[in-house]
Structure 1
């Protein structure tokens, strides 16, 4: 038996989803296509979604007229964040070796495959059916094969007309009171109107937030994966240690949206701590300091930034700190990653050496390898936006 799997939040399911599923069924000779709404998709942690009940009901209405389409509740009924690798393992175990699985996804999702949980295992679990989307054409299959040799013979590029329908556009139209005709199946359109989904007066009762993370931090995790700042796999760190993930903070802090999100997430915490300036050790802290200082200006707070040199100048004034740091200021020290906290401690020592008081220490990612614990032990108030879980997954940190 050949079964296609079309996963997603389906918030809402629309005609683009149905057309894609039918094209895949016909071109690949599939016996069935399973629509699988996500329960708590980890890639959208902190993103407002309609309740699982509403999304399931809309999918049921959408597929009711096609006997080849079915709805799967596997991910919706699973507690905690949902990962594709876990879903596919469970399906292969229950369906047996006589069933071939075909996972259908857009090229925009495939471009971030390296950020998925356990991608090396994923490629071995099913066939991959990739479809181009507006703004996402030209799949580099040779590069993908080089990165994942196990995908040889398992990737199909589906040929179908590009459809510029997106769930985000439908939500925008619904909130603006615009027509949804020719965007949604008739039954789904009526359901959206009957339950006031995506409208200002329906958001409180019909929206839930995946996990409990603030939207800014949740989106920051998404951007890290989308830009390749966070990748899962097998990596050897500078220290020689093996890691199940790799994080390049500068790919995030130098990205326009990433820089904005970092500043928006950190600035309120630094202000609450009474920080009068923000700084850190070059190079990881440089873009963060600039973004936070600029964001403070937009809020009318005017918190200056400063950069700590790794070594003091050997010419001129011989200073070790660059920037307008007022004497005896209350300061916040930031860095992109906290591992052993060596860079953070170097910046702390430089600031304290000129009479400043460190009121807050922050990082984008806490790798949970002893650094944050040592900061706390020494009496520094530390927080991070993201942290590594014991099983090597990166998760959003709840604000205290």
Structure 2
């Protein structure tokens, strides 16, 4: 089976540094300490694929240099590089990155149509949109999650799951279904404005629990319930330092605490004698690590539709941060509609940290009730 393989080499760089995306802000991300992550995640996918017998029947059609060629060169899979423009490089603050554009992704994807059985891409929602715009429904597509948001339904839940989906696709055990391709205006997103746009339905190989859902907003009929949960939880919080996550549910909690926190970022708050004080607004991973010694508690919600607690849109909660947070110090708040899948997902890229978080967690689902939910 021949598989198209495209890497967006700058995808995901804005996550840990609180830029909520990478489009147009690569230089700023690097100045804040970001480093490329997409190739590393793509290697995780390929490494996992080598564990399957079926891998011997896979060959790849890929892009030059950092768009696939370099990573595949570290493995023994047969591959062919599509003739394409020479990819240049630029150096920002000592970090060398390929000088690629969305047009490179589109051109490579378009060239793959009729030559591959599936297009696999490593990136985020912007990359999904580019690939879909080029191939439409001519060939199935599947995302290896390396971006920041990844609200589309065409992504595997993890790089390792992407490898298993490919194997099941080869064996004829994966259904090809329609999945939503979505993206947000990243400039608006950085201003705490959510402007989602639906770009269409792509064909995607689907294996239950291995492919994530698409982002869903909080249901209108649950707004009052969210308000009631926020009011009850705030009354119960003890003195100390808290890392308050992103989303409309957490925004209600921040408002109840009387702080001007972000909607789509993470804030550090201190409660003393029952009064809250905003210490740092819209933090990066580095900011969170600066407060680790104060034994903070984390309050987060589940992303509706995706089912993720950590790993989508809140990469500031990195493996390095979560390694120092006891599981019992994580407070999860979610309305019932966000738990329809029956499980919560975590993916930090660190197996030890992910394993610590897995099992079961208490989730506050109403002002007076909690539910034990499995974390996978």
TM over 0.5: no
Hey, which of these two has a bigger chunk of helix by percent? 1
TM-score (norm 1): 0.28
TM-score (norm 2): 0.29
